């Protein structure tokens, strides 16, 4: 890690667009974001040591770190090879791990310089994605993690994140990205995220935002099946509305930073 690099975590509720944002960041010449690099360390062992992001340690994979290792797939192997090549000149390094929100406060307290990119996605799309994965034959996704489980987890995460955003000493270290507006606001979202992270313009980075926006624009609109209406309606959406307003503020504030 270069002496100027900062540590950045990308998180949000699982199936909420977190991987897409990490992929976009990794397309930038000055960013190195792991793909669930320390999933087990964070979620199971509650280990948040900043030394995990020193170069030698970051590229030395251990079983207690994660199951998402370069030998698992050609795509991950390519990702980490490219990351290693640009690591020394990176302005930001970090990791992408979904479902960190309940731990985020402790992580920020333990690492005062650590910043978070928190991806917001609407409950309907998250819950329908959980349900589809739970029903997929041969999937490693647990069958009990369907629509109702997603409603419970999403509600918890929105409340946890809203509480963090309400703390002035933490707010400046959190960027809220409204995933549901990625198609219509792709350029603005990309620029604001750059502004927050202190990154310069990069054609590949913007191209990755464009690619994901095109993919999302082709997705069909799904309705919530009747058997899930009660579970959906029971969720308190007030924290999510607060977060959407805060995300708009981030878009405007950090967009100006990028333009300046």
Q: What is the mean pLDDT of residues 158-163?
A: 98
Tens of pLDDT, residues 5-50: 699 999 999 999 999 999 999 999 999 999 999 999 999 999 998 8
Q: Could you tell me the strand order of the sheet in which 92-96 lies? A: 31-35, 92-96, 6-12, 115-120, 174-178
Q: Is the pLDDT of residue 153 over 60?
A: yes
Q: Residue 152: is its pLDDT beyond 70?
A: yes
pLDDT tens by residue, 189-240: 999 999 999 999 999 999 999 999 999 999 999 999 999 999 999 999 999 9
Position 103 pLDDT exceeds 70: yes
Length of the chain, in residues: 260
Res 135 pLDDT > 90: yes
Q: How many CA atoms lie within 13 A of 108 on its CB side?
A: 21
The pLDDT assigned to 139 comes to 86
Q: What mean pLDDT comes out for the span 142-156?
A: 97
Hey, which bits of the chain come out as E strands?
A: 6-12, 31-35, 92-96, 115-120, 174-178
Residue 100 confidence class, pLDDT cut points 50, 70, 90: very high
Mean of pLDDT over the chain: 96
The CA-atom distances, in angstroms, between 97 and each of 39, 109, 137, 153 are 6, 18, 25, 15
> In the structure encoding, which two tokens stand for residue 71, read together?
């030998």
Q: Is the pLDDT assigned to residue 2 strictly greater than 80?
A: no
36 burial level (CB within 10 Å; 0-12, 13-18, 19+): buried
Over residues 82-95, the mean pLDDT reads 97
When pLDDT is cut at 50, 70 and 90, the band that residue 3 belongs to is: very low
Which residues on neighbouring strands pair with residue 120, listed in sequence order? 178
Inform me whether the pLDDT recorded for 122 exceeds 90: yes
- Residue 79's alpha-carbon distances to 20, 37, 67, 68, 98, in angstroms, are 14, 12, 15, 12, 18
Check: CB of residue 19 under 8 Å from CB of residue 105: no
| Closest to 34 in 3D by CA, of 62, 71, 16, 59 | 59
* pLDDT tier, 4 (very low <50, low <70, confident <90, very high otherwise): low
Q: What is the mean pLDDT of residues 144-160?
A: 98
Is residue 84's pLDDT more than 90?
A: yes
Using the predicted structure, report yes or no on whether residue 86 has a pLDDT greater than 50.
yes
pLDDT of 1 over the 70 cut: no
Residue 248 scores a pLDDT above 90: yes
Specify whether the CB–CB gap between 105 and 157 falls below 8 A. Answer: no
Confirm if 88 and 55 have CB atoms less than 8 A apart.
yes
CB atoms within 10 A of CB 89: 12
Residue 144, pLDDT above cutoff 80: yes
- For the cut 50, the answer to whether the pLDDT of residue 143 exceeds it is yes
């Amino acid at each position: 890690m270069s002496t100027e690099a900062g540590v950045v975590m990308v998180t949000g509720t699982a199936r909420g667009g977190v991987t897409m944002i990490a992929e976009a960041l990794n397309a930038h010449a000055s960013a190195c974001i792991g793909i669930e690099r320390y999933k087990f360390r964070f979620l199971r062992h509650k280990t948040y040591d900043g030394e995990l992001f020193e170069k030698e340690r970051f590229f030395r994979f251990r079983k207690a770190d994660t199951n998402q290792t370069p030998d698992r797939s050609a795509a991950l192997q390519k990702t980490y090879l490219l990351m290693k090549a640009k690591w020394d000149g990176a302005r930001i390094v970090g990791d992408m791990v979904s479902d960190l929100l309940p731990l985020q406060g402790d992580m920020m307290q333990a690492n005062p310089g650590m910043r978070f990119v928190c991806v917001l996605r609407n409950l309907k799309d998250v819950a329908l994605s959980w349900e589809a994965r739970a029903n997929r034959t041969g999937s490693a996704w647990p069958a009990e993690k369907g629509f109702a489980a997603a409603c419970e987890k999403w509600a918890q995460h929105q409340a946890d994140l809203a509480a963090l955003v309400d703390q002035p000493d933490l707010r400046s270290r959190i960027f809220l990205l409204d995933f549901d507006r990625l198609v219509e606001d792709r350029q603005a979202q990309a620029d604001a995220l750059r502004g927050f992270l202190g990154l310069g313009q990069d054609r590949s980075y913007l191209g990755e935002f464009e690619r994901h926006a095109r993919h999302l624009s082709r997705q069909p609109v799904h309705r919530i099946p009747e058997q899930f209406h009660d579970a959906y309606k029971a969720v308190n959406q007030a924290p999510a509305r607060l977060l959407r307003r805060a995300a708009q503020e981030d878009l405007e504030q950090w967009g100006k930073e990028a333009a300046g």
